[in-house]
Every structure is written in structure tokens, then in C-alpha cells.
């Protein structure tokens, strides 16, 4: 009898535990369980209205309740939906990836598609062109019509895959119920091409050099490049790697070996895979055309401008359809401003949420997790739980009350960790001015009179770790593999440092630097760094911003979105970046130029005893191109370079300073 009672008690206890429901930020149990332990893999080519064929994989959950129709989570990518080893046939796709398997185990079909001109799809590509938006809508419509879909589709993914979500959603496909765009800007010009009006050559060159072999299905094992997985098994033998033509001359590509291509098994084919890849040779190289878009209204190929190609072109459609959006960002990403702008601008029209991790472009990547008081494992748990809660709510109709959470969740670095907020910027934050004063100091008191000269060092380089990474190179997947220590780098800068803090100070929001500067050359570039200096003298980067002086004049930030009457919020400094707004002789025309530079938003606690430092440089090479007026060959060591001398003014009327959003303790 005692044994029976014990068993009954244990069963009741386990049942009670199983029924316990918890749904709050980062915590989720009892609403959704992992009931599936396998996947059934499918691939096809989905034909678009213009005849282009889009390669699509989808994976149906196995080993659990058979419900017939499932909600679908789609990723829409230019980076190959799957790869295959051309010799062994080993496939790497969604069925082998941790995150997709997590969602599939909870009863979601996972789907991934190659954009036109990429992967195993046919067609050609101009990055971000409207045809990609239309394909996304048609793809969602096709998925919703399949017998295995319950009519509800969500999208997820980061960077380009985040852009593809807002692009697709802006056309309002009926079955698309929610999106989770991760690490995307609002405008592409300052986000990834010309931040502050300065060409981001490091990212664009690295990205384009990698994309060419990826888009053309090269096999370069020494570079880690594998061909994309074919979507069609033409000979029906159950193998896919034999659909890849032979590389007869061994140079990594089968495209230059003549037609018809040859195959290892000698079987005849219609050459579906080869013909699709061949069309990719018509793609436009992003770096080759982006470098010439000197202004936000410069013409790209096919007559587009950056107003037409970036997420700012999607906002109108998104605001009209009211789609739920969960914005995901990283404090050390290059697109952090855009994460907040998208959330804030669409908050009134779309059920919008935002979460900000202490990571880079790969929000779960980077050394800051160890520095600021959390772990990658913990961040991953939060990341997955929040995605699952959001998808359960909008794709399965689970009443998990996610909408009752604070709309913003930020990780306060060096502080309390995760914290919910109702607004952005924080109304309770006090905008406090810290002035640059004599002896390279920072003071709360406005200076009386003075100035400091700084001769630009073109060799200044804001990359970190032995891989040369930083937030901007992180957009190309090259996050630094070490903390961003600037102790030595600041020796090539003009720096201003405060005394040690009497108490902890939390800075949460958008730091704004106001510089009053003159120069002995007509124009120049300004890179500004907000830093934390320890009592031992170690300097670590907190945030940064940059501006080409010729763009100093402030413009209405609603101009970020053209041709639509949309209030872009928050109201941050915006310099227009249109050709008509640029003054290439600005320092020759004005004795002193006022420049207002917003640094990327942050949430950082300066600990007691630590100091606040602002450092100013005139170059960041090789991440950014040197100013063409000052370095004709873009070489920091070129003998004909003209290194300008900047004068930073710190008088009562021209008080250079940083304004920090201080959150009261």
C-alpha cells in the first residue's frame, strides 16, 4: 500500500509540474513542449510568375502527434539554404542546425529558400531589388496553399534574412502572421555602405569577395566554400551530390568547363542545377556598384537609390498591414540605431516588440558576454524562448500573454542584466552634458576658453583581436575574437577623460557628441569613440559614431523615408546625405563648423572609480576608406597624403561636449 501511495503521489506531483505554466520574458514552460524528435526532408523548385525558379527546402516534424497541417517558419536567404560536399554527399541544412531543430521539435515546419540569383535558384540578382520582395510574397502564398501548412507562416533570420522579412511583409501576403527581423538597419546607406557618409570598404569588399564563389557554387575546401545543395534529383537515384557537374580543370568551378557539363555517374540530365547556377553569373557585384553611391540619392544599377532598396522602403507597407514584429538587435552591432528606429516608427501601427542582446551582428556572438555579466548559453536560452513564445502566440494562437510584457527588453551591460522598458528613449533618463576642457579632461562645468589641435593619423585602426574584427566587420561575420580594448589605439587619437566616478553611472540611450571644429583642409572625417577607462588604465570601447564634415548640416530625420508622410522616431540627428546637402569645402567656407554626431545607442554602467573617455580620430583604416580628398590612393602610408590638423574648440560659446543619457540610480 505504501508503494502504491508513493507512486500515486509521484504521478500527481509530476502531473502538477507538467501542467505548471510560466510565460514571462525569457521564461517559457507548460505552453509548448518538444514532442517531435525527427524530421522529414523535402526539396523543390517553386516557379515564380516570371518563370524564375526558387529553391525551397521544408522539414515536417516526425516522431510526435500527427496533426497533418502545421504552422511554418520560413527563412529566405541569399547565403544558400543548404550546402553539400560534392565528394562525400554530406549535407548541411536545417535538419542539422540546432535552432531549426528546436522549433521543429515544438511542432513547426521549418522552411528555407534561396533568393533568385543565389543558392540553387535560377535567375540573377541585384541585391535588395524589388523582385526579391515579390518572390517572398509568392513563396509565402505557395507555402500556405500546400496540404502540410495550416495557413499560418512566420519568418525569422538575421541581417539579409531580416531584410527579406520586412521586404516580404511589406507586400502583405495573407498567410504571413508575424516576423522576427534580426540586426537590420532602417536605411542601408548609413547602415552598411556609407556610415556617416564614409565608405565602409572593409565590410563591402569582404562580403562581395565571399559572395561571388558562394553564388556560383564553387568548391573551395581550403576556404570552407561548399556548393549549394541541388533542389532536384534529376536521375532519381536518391543522391544529390551527383547532380553537381564535374570540375574538370580543378579550379573550383564547373562553369568554365564547357557545355554540356559532365557528371560523375555519366547519366544524362536536363542540367537543371547547372543552368540555374549559370544564370548567377549575371549578378551585380554589390561592392562594385555600392562604392559609387556616394550619396543616399545616388543612382544604383537599374535606376534605384538607397531610398528604394533598404528597409526604409518597406515601412509604408508594414505600417498599413499591422503585422506583429519582434525586433532583435545587439548592442555591438552596426545596425543598432536602425533596430530602435524600426521599433519606434512602427510601434503605433504594428504590435511591436524589441530585444537588445549584448552581442554583435551575430547577436549571440562576441567576447562581450564574458565582459558584461552574462554567458552565451544564457543568451541563447532567452533568444530561443522569446522566438518560441512569439511564434506560439501568432502562428498557433497560444494564449501565453507575451503581449503583456514590457515592449522593450534590454540587457544593461555591467549592471542589472535584463530589464523591461515601456518606451525609447527612456523618459526618466537625464540628458547630461560632459564638456571637453583643458588638459584633455572632461568636466560637468562649461569651459571658458581654449582649443586643442590634433593632426590626423591615417594608420589609426579600430579593429580588435587577432582576426581584425569590429562591429562594422561583424556585418560580414567577422566579429572580434577579443574585447575591444583601445588602450594603445587611443595614442593615435585626441582624447578627453573624466575623473573617476564617485558612484556607478548608467548610460542608456543615444549618446550625442557636439564638436566645434576647424581644420586646415577643406573637409575631413571624424570618428568618435565613447570609452570606459578602468582605474588601472585599461580602455574599452562602449560606443562609436562617425561623420564626414561636409555633411555637418542637420536635416529633418523624417527624410530617411522618402515619398511617404511617416514620422520617423526617435528624433535623432540626421545629416541627409543627399548630393545637394554635401559641402566638400566646408572648412574653407566656415571658420568653425558645428557637428552633431549621434553615437550608436548603448546601455552601459560605468562603475565607481572608472572614467568616461571620448576619443576622436580622423581615420579608421582599413575598415573605412580614407577621405579621397586627403588620400588619392587610399593608402595610409602614401607619401602624397595630406594629413589635416583639426582644432577642437572648447570655449563658452563653442563648447565641444558629449551628452549622455544618465539613468538615475
The residues, ordered by sequence, that sit 6+ positions from 270 with a Cβ below 8 Å of its Cβ are 234
Rounded Cα distance between 166 and 136, Å, is: 10
The SS3 call for residue 601 is coil
The SS3 call for residue 534 is coil
What is the per-residue pLDDT for 603? 98
How many other β-carbons are positioned within 10 Å of the β-carbon of residue 345?
Answer: 24
Q: What is the CATH number of domain 27-186+321-421?
A: 3.40.50.1820
283's grid cell: 549578378
Own/partner contacts of 20-23, CB < 8 Å, gap of 24 or more, are: 23/389, 23/400, 23/401, 23/402
Chain position carrying cell 526618466: 428
Contact criterion met (CB below 8 Å) for 512 and 596: yes
How many other β-carbons are positioned within 10 Å of the β-carbon of residue 17?
Answer: 10
Rounded Cα distance between 627 and 524, Å, is: 7
Pairing type for strands 176-182 and 325-330 reads: parallel
Contact criterion met (CB below 8 Å) for 88 and 29: no
- Which region holds residue 319: left if phi is over 0, alpha if psi is between -120 and 50, else beta? alpha
Contact criterion met (CB below 8 Å) for 619 and 201: no
Strands (E), 400-554: 408-412, 417-421, 430-437, 441-443, 451-455, 494-497, 505-509, 512-519, 525-533, 539-548
Local confidence band at 367 (pLDDT 50, 70, 90 cut-offs): confident
The residues, ordered by sequence, that sit 6+ positions from 84 with a Cβ below 8 Å of its Cβ are 90, 91, 92, 226, 227, 228, 229, 230, 240, 241, 244
Fill in the DSSP letter of residue 220: B
Q: Supply the mean pLDDT for the chain.
A: 95
φ, ψ for residue 605, nearest 5 deg: -100, 120
Rg value, the chain, Cα: 26
Mean pLDDT of 409-421: 96
What is the per-residue pLDDT for 18? 53
629's grid cell: 580628398
Q: How do residues 565-592 score in pLDDT, each as one tens digit?
A: 999 999 999 999 999 999 999 999 999 9
Contact criterion met (CB below 8 Å) for 489 and 620: no
φ, ψ for residue 208, nearest 5 deg: -70, -40
Sign, CA torsion 295/297/299/304 = positive
Rounded Cα distance between 391 and 74, Å, is: 12
Cβ neighbourhood burial of 361 (10 Å; 0-12, 13-18, 19+): buried
Mean pLDDT of 11-31: 72
- Size of the chain, expressed as the number of residues it contains: 665
- Which region holds residue 51: left if phi is over 0, alpha if psi is between -120 and 50, else beta? left
CATH class name, domain 430-663? mainly beta
Domain boundaries, the chain: 27-186+321-421, 430-663
Local confidence band at 10 (pLDDT 50, 70, 90 cut-offs): very low
Q: How do residues 417-430 score in pLDDT, each as one tens digit?
A: 999 999 999 999 99
- DSSP run (H or E) holding 595: strand 593-598
Q: How do residues 339-364 score in pLDDT, each as one tens digit?
A: 999 999 999 999 999 999 999 999 99
467's grid cell: 582576426
The SS3 call for residue 47 is strand
Rounded Cα distance between 245 and 577, Å, is: 47
Cβ neighbourhood burial of 64 (10 Å; 0-12, 13-18, 19+): middle
What is the CA angle 272-275-280, rounded to 5?
130
Q: How do residues 517-563 score in pLDDT, each as one tens digit?
A: 999 999 999 999 999 999 999 999 999 999 999 999 999 999 999 88
DSSP string covering 361-424, please? SSTT-STHHHHHT--HHHHHHHHHHHHHHHHHHHHS-----GGGS-SEEEEEBTTTEEEEESSS
Q: How do residues 246-279 score in pLDDT, each as one tens digit?
A: 999 999 999 999 999 999 999 999 999 999 999 9
What is the per-residue pLDDT for 366? 77
Contact criterion met (CB below 8 Å) for 139 and 145: no
Closest CA to 477 of 310, 601, 362: 362
Statement: residue 158 has pLDDT above 90: yes
Residue 570 preceded by cis peptide, ω within 30? yes
Mean pLDDT of 181-192: 97
Amino acid at each position: 500500500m505504501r508503494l502504491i501511495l508513493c507512486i500515486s503521489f509521484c504521478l500527481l506531483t509530476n502531473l502538477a509540474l507538467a501542467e505548471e505554466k510560466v510565460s514571462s520574458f525569457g521564461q517559457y514552460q507548460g505552453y509548448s513542449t518538444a514532442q517531435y524528435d525527427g524530421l522529414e526532408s523535402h526539396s523543390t523548385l517553386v516557379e515564380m510568375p516570371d518563370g524564375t525558379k526558387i529553391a525551397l527546402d521544408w522539414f515536417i516534424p516526425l516522431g510526435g502527434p500527427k496533426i497533418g497541417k502545421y504552422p511554418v517558419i520560413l527563412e529566405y536567404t541569399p547565403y544558400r539554404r543548404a550546402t553539400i560536399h560534392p565528394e562525400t554527399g554530406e549535407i548541411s541544412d536545417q535538419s542539422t542546425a540546432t535552432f531549426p531543430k528546436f522549433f521543429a521539435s515544438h511542432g513547426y515546419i521549418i522552411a528555407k529558400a534561396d533568393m533568385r540569383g543565389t543558392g540553387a535558384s535560377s535567375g540573377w540578382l541585384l541585391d535588395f531589388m524589388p523582385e526579391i520582395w515579390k518572390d517572398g510574397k509568392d513563396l509565402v502564398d505557395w507555402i500556405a496553399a500546400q496540404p502540410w501548412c495550416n495557413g499560418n507562416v512566420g519568418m525569422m533570420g538575421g541581417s539579409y534574412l531580416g531584410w527579406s522579412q520586412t521586404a516580404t511583409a511589406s507586400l502583405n501576403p495573407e498567410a504571413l502572421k508575424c516576423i522576427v527581423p534580426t540586426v537590420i538597419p532602417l536605411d542601408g546607406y548609413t547602415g552598411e555602405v556609407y556610415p556617416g557618409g564614409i565608405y565602409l570598404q572593409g565590410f563591402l569588399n569582404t562580403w562581395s569577395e565571399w559572395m561571388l564563389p558562394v553564388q556560383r557554387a564553387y568548391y573551395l575546401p581550403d576556404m570552407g566554400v561548399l556548393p549549394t545543395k541541388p533542389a532536384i534529383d534529376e536521375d532519381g537515384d536518391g543522391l544529390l551530390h551527383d547532380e553537381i557537374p564535374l570540375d574538370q580543370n580543378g579550379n573550383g568551378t564547373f562553369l568554365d568547363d564547357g557545355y554540356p557539363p559532365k557528371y560523375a555517374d555519366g547519366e544524362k540530365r536536363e542540367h537543371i542545377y547547372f543552368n540555374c547556377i549559370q544564370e548567377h553569373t549575371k549578378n551585380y557585384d554589390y561592392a562594385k556598384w555600392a562604392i559609387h553611391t556616394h550619396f543616399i540619392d545616388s543612382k544604383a544599377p537599374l535606376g534605384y537609390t538607397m531610398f528604394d532598396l533598404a528597409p526604409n522602403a518597406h515601412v509604408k507597407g508594414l505600417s498599413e498591414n499591422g503585422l506583429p514584429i519582434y525586433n532583435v538587435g545587439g548592442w555591438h552591432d552596426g545596425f543598432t540605431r536602425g533596430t530602435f528606429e524600426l521599433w519606434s516608427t512602427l510601434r503605433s501601427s504594428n504590435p511591436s516588440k524589441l530585444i537588445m542582446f549584448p552581442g554583435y551582428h551575430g547577436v549571440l556572438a562576441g567576447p562581450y558576454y564574458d565582459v558584461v555579466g552574462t554567458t552565451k548559453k544564457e543568451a541563447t536560452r532567452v533568444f530561443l524562448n522569446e522566438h518560441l513564445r512569439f511564434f506560439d502566440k501568432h502562428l498557433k494562437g497560444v494564449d501565453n500573454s507575451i503581449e503583456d510584457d514590457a515592449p522593450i527588453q534590454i540587457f544593461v551591460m555591467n549592471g542589472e542584466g535584463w530589464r523591461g522598458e515601456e518606451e525609447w528613449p527612456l523618459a526618466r533618463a537625464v540628458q547630461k552634458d560632459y564638456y571637453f576642457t583643458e588638459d584633455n579632461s572632461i568636466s560637468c562645468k562649461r569651459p571658458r576658453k581654449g582649443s586643442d589641435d590634433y593632426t590626423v593619423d591615417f594608420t589609426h585602426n579600430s579593429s580588435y583581436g587577432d582576426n581584425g574584427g569590429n562591429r562594422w566587420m561583424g556585418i560580414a561575420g567577422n566579429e572580434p575574437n577579443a574585447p575591444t580594448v583601445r588602450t594603445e589605439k587611443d595614442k593615435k587619437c585626441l582624447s578627453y577623460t573624466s575623473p573617476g566616478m564617485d558612484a556607478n553611472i548608467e548610460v542608456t540611450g543615444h549618446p550625442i557628441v557636439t564638436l566645434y571644429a576647424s581644420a586646415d583642409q577643406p573637409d575631413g572625417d571624424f570618428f568618435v569613440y565613447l570609452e570606459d577607462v578602468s582605474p588601472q588604465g585599461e580602455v574599452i570601447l562602449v560606443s562609436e559614431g562617425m561623420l564626414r564634415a561636409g555633411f555637418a548640416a542637420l536635416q529633418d530625420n523624417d527624410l530617411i523615408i522618402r515619398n511617404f508622410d511617416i514620422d520617423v522616431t526617435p528624433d535623432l540627428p540626421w545629416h541627409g546625405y543627399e548630393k545637394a546637402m554635401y559641402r566638400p569645402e566646408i572648412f574653407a567656407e566656415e571658420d568653425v563648423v558645428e557637428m552633431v554626431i549621434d553615437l550608436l545607442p548603448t546601455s552601459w554602467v560605468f562603475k565607481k572609480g572608472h572614467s568616461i573617455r571620448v576619443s576622436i580620430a580622423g581615420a579608421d583604416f582599413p575598415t573605412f576608406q580614407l577621405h579621397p580628398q586627403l588620400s588619392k590612393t587610399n593608402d595610409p602610408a602614401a607619401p602624397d597624403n595630406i594629413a589635416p590638423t583639426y582644432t577642437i574648440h572648447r570655449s563658452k560659446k563653442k563648447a565641444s561636449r558629449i551628452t549622455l543619457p544618465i539613468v538615475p540610480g
